[in-house]
Amino acid sequence: MNCPTNSRRSLSRGLGLFMLVMVCSAQPRPRAPLPFDPLTEEEKRSAVKIALADNQVQEMLGTGRREVVSVAVLPEKVSREQVETAAAGRAIAMSRVLEVIFFRYDGEVGVRAVVDLTHKKVTAVSRLSSREVSMTQAELAEAWQFASRNAEVRDALGAGVDKFQVLGAPVGRKAPSPRYKVEGLRVEGATESDPCYKHRCLQLMFRTDTGYLVEPTVVVDLTAQKVQVERKKR
Amino acid sequence: MKLLRPFVWMILLLPTLAGAQTPAPWMPCSGLNLVDQAFPVAGAEQTHWRLCWEAVSQQGLLIHWAFFRPSPAARWIRIFWDARVSDILVPYHEGSTRFLDMSGFTFPMTTVSTADCPPAVGGTTLGSYVCKEVRDRGLLWKDDALVRRGQELVLWGALDAANYNYVIEWTFRDDGVVLGRVGTTAVNLSSMPHEPHMHNPIWRLDVDLDGFWGDSVDFGTHSESTAASTAVDTEPLIATEDGRDWDPHSFNELHIRDASLKNGKGDATSVQLIALPTGGLSRHQEDFAHHDFWITHYVGSQMWASNLVSYISPPEAISNADIVAWYKGSIHHHPRDEDGESVNGVWQGEALVMWTGWMLKPHNLFDRTPFYHR
């Protein structure tokens, strides 16, 4: 409903103004999300922007290739007084605090920024090891791009090799699933002698409309840019 | 004025006549993400849960804040600040294949529909990823011909971890008990579908009993030997951050108590974290898989199970503190023909859901048997 300014003329000045205030104040306004409500895409973008404007984040991320791995609500605690006030049924002012994780490809490190979205500021920044940064659809796409050029992989997958695709949806969103899908699992090396103990490795899995292919087993070491293919002996 | 007096009294007495209720706590969530459930579902309210949930890619189904009220006139008691599955360690028996199925990859949640969550059995889909079920849970108590059935609120969602789906389930019962379970299902690892393996979900439970301050943890232990007819139960304080092992003969539990919370009888209230293993609890070479329970001091950034040992180095004092309890469950998956089969080079079939979990049971939260009638 609009709040017409012309309607004031037809009413006595005082009453008209009163009515207008009452009507306009009854209009539903978009409510700000509460601290632990799910994040909107716009909030995620804002948090990334705030984090990227921070000097320490910029310094840690460098100028090379990087990726936003995740943006999530961080359930940080508030003061005892606030906790008691909320428990008694009264609203408290809590910031919307988010955790933004970036991955820096050069050197394979992560950067964690805690963003207070309410006050539009970064409150903490820390470095994460590669192991502490989860792998993403973008890395899976890269791994598949790399593996799909490998002769052994092409041979093992046969004529259908180019039908396989990586789901392109951003984190948290579902896109229509392709019929031939490449999925990935991060491989954790069991011992230090295993390259995947420290490297970023993905085991690729090939899903068709009837199920997963039993072979080949393809592991892509993105750090070393190597593809390992295993086929069962016949 | 005299004529108005009866009406004034009626207005003043109305809340008492209607059964005065303590005001509900303010919650930091809204809409579908705020769940408010009174029990029993029909008739006069006796107990009540109020909680927030969030479904997040990679992190699964999270509980943010959970309050329980043991009776309409009682205070709301905070149970959780935050509760989540922190990670799932999946080592295969052959040794070289090991996955961290939550921290390793940014897996999305799977969608749920009315096929997952039928209204006919008390199901309601909450958005695209979560099912809420409010249902009968069988016997609450029975005494000869007298009987009372219980009810529960269940929230569940599933993480789409490539070939596997992990069902993350939270149950809030009418008697104040919370149950956490993880179920593994979907497709065996196609490259080695017959290889036995473990799925170890590790929960991070930020229990803030009546607030984050003043909590302590005791290690419930039952001692009894075959050489004597007596038994002893002890509850030594866990004074500093540490890990603990669950021994089936010792009925080990974490007893989380608040320094000042007491029930109406003046008895100290606690909640007891009880392991509900399915078959057993495993050990693996990863250092965070060397214990079943861990207790840490709350630090907002400490969310990842695989870093647990670094979180307690050096160990901090955790008596009268803000504590976080961690529990590792295990699912031993020994593949069987029921899981599926290889047909023309394609694995076909679905591994049926296998579960593991825990219970958080109130102790002296109520003044007497809840839902008791003669």
Section A93-107 average pLDDT: 97
Tell me the residues of chain A between 78 and 117 that have a Cβ less than 8 Å away from chain B.
Answer: 80, 83-92, 94, 112, 114
Residue A179: predicted pLDDT: 86
Distances (CA, A) of B148 to B41, B176, B367: 14, 16, 18
**Residue-wise over A114-137: b if at least 16 C-beta within 10 A, else e?**
bbbbeeeebebbeebebbbbbbbb
Looking at the complex, report in whole angstroms how far the Cα of residue A41 sits from the nearest Cα belonging to chain B. Answer: 13
ipTM of the complex: 0.91
Question: Is the pLDDT reported for residue B348 higher than 70?
Answer: yes
Among candidates A37, A126, A184 on the partner chain, residue whose Cβ is nearest the Cβ of B162: A184
- Using alpha carbons, list the distances in angstroms from residue B266 to A112, A193, B233, B258, B364: 46, 59, 22, 13, 9
Does position A172 have pLDDT exceeding 50, yes or no? no
Does A135 contact B105 at a Cβ distance shorter than 8 Å?
yes
Which 24-53 residues of chain A touch chain B by CB within 8 A? 31, 33-38
CB atoms within 10 A of CB A1: 8
Tokens for A142, please give them.
């890269």
For residue B12, pLDDT beyond 50: no
Cis upstream peptide for A170 (omega within 30°) = no
**CA angle (B277, B88, B82) in 5-degree steps:** 85
Is residue A85 over pLDDT 70? yes
- Mean pLDDT, to the nearest integer, of B209-234? 98
Say yes or no to pLDDT of A171 above 90. Answer: no
Give the distance from residue B349's alpha carbon to the nearest chain A alpha carbon, in angstroms.
8
| B373 has a pLDDT exceeding 90 | no
How far is CA A150 from each of CA A84, A185, A203, rounded to the nearest angstrom? 61, 19, 15
Put simply, the answer to whether A86 touches B29 (Cβ < 8 Å) is: no
pLDDT in tens, B58-108: 999 999 999 999 999 999 999 999 999 999 999 999 998 999 999 999 999
CA distance A62 to chain B (A): 23
Chain B partners within 8 Å of A185 (Cβ): 99, 101, 104-105, 161-163, 189
In the predicted structure, residue B327 carries a pLDDT above the cut 60: yes
Please report, rounded to a whole number, the percentage of residues in chain B having pLDDT higher than 70. 95
Residue (of A1, A165, A68) closest to B57 by Cα position: A68
Task: Say whether pLDDT at A24 is over 50.
Answer: no
Choice among A114-123, A124-133, A223-232 with the minimum mean pLDDT = A223-232
Average pLDDT over residues B139-147: 97
The residue ranking higher by pLDDT, A11 or B186, is: B186
Q: Based on DSSP, count helices (H) and strands (E) in chain B, helices before strands.
A: 2, 22
What is the rounded radius of gyration, in angstroms, for the C-alpha atoms of chain B? 23
Grade residue A13 by pLDDT with cuts at 50, 70 and 90.
low
For residue B148, give how far its alpha carbon lies from the nearest alpha carbon of chain A (Å). 31
The confidence score (pLDDT) of residue A190 equals 82
Q: What is the mean pLDDT of residues B297-314?
A: 97
Give pLDDT, residue B221: 98
Is B49 at the interface with chain A, CB within 8 A? no
Given a cut of 50, whether residue A234 has pLDDT beyond it is no
B103: nearest CA partner in chain A: A134
pLDDT digits (tens, 9 = 90+) for A27-81: 555 678 999 999 999 999 999 999 999 999 999 999 999 999 999 999 999 999 9
Residue A5 has pLDDT above 60, yes or no: no
Q: Which long-range contacts (CB under 8 A, 24 or more apart) does A76-80 make?
A: A76/A114, A76/B300, A77/B81, A77/B212, A77/B298, A77/B300, A77/B322, A80/B211, A80/B212, A80/B213
B270 with B363: CB under 8 angstroms?
A: yes
Long-range contacts: B145-151, Cβ < 8 Å, 24+?
A: B146/B373, B146/B374, B148/B371, B148/B372, B148/B373, B150/B174, B150/B175, B150/B371, B151/B39, B151/B40, B151/B41
For residues B182-192, give the mean pLDDT.
Answer: 96
Which pLDDT value is given to residue B4?
53
Lowest mean pLDDT: which of A8-17, A54-63, A104-113, B14-23?
Answer: A8-17
B157's tokens: 């969602």
| pLDDT tens track for A105-127 | 999 999 999 999 999 999 999 99
Task: Please report where in the chains the tokens 């907002």 appear, as a residue.
Answer: B300
Q: Please choose, from the candidates B170, B204, B166, the residue with its C-alpha nearest in 3D space to the C-alpha of residue B324.
A: B204
Contact list in B for residue A31 (CB cut-off 8 A) is: 30
C-beta separation of B323 from B215 below 8 A:
yes
**What percent of chain A is predicted at pLDDT more than 90?**
74
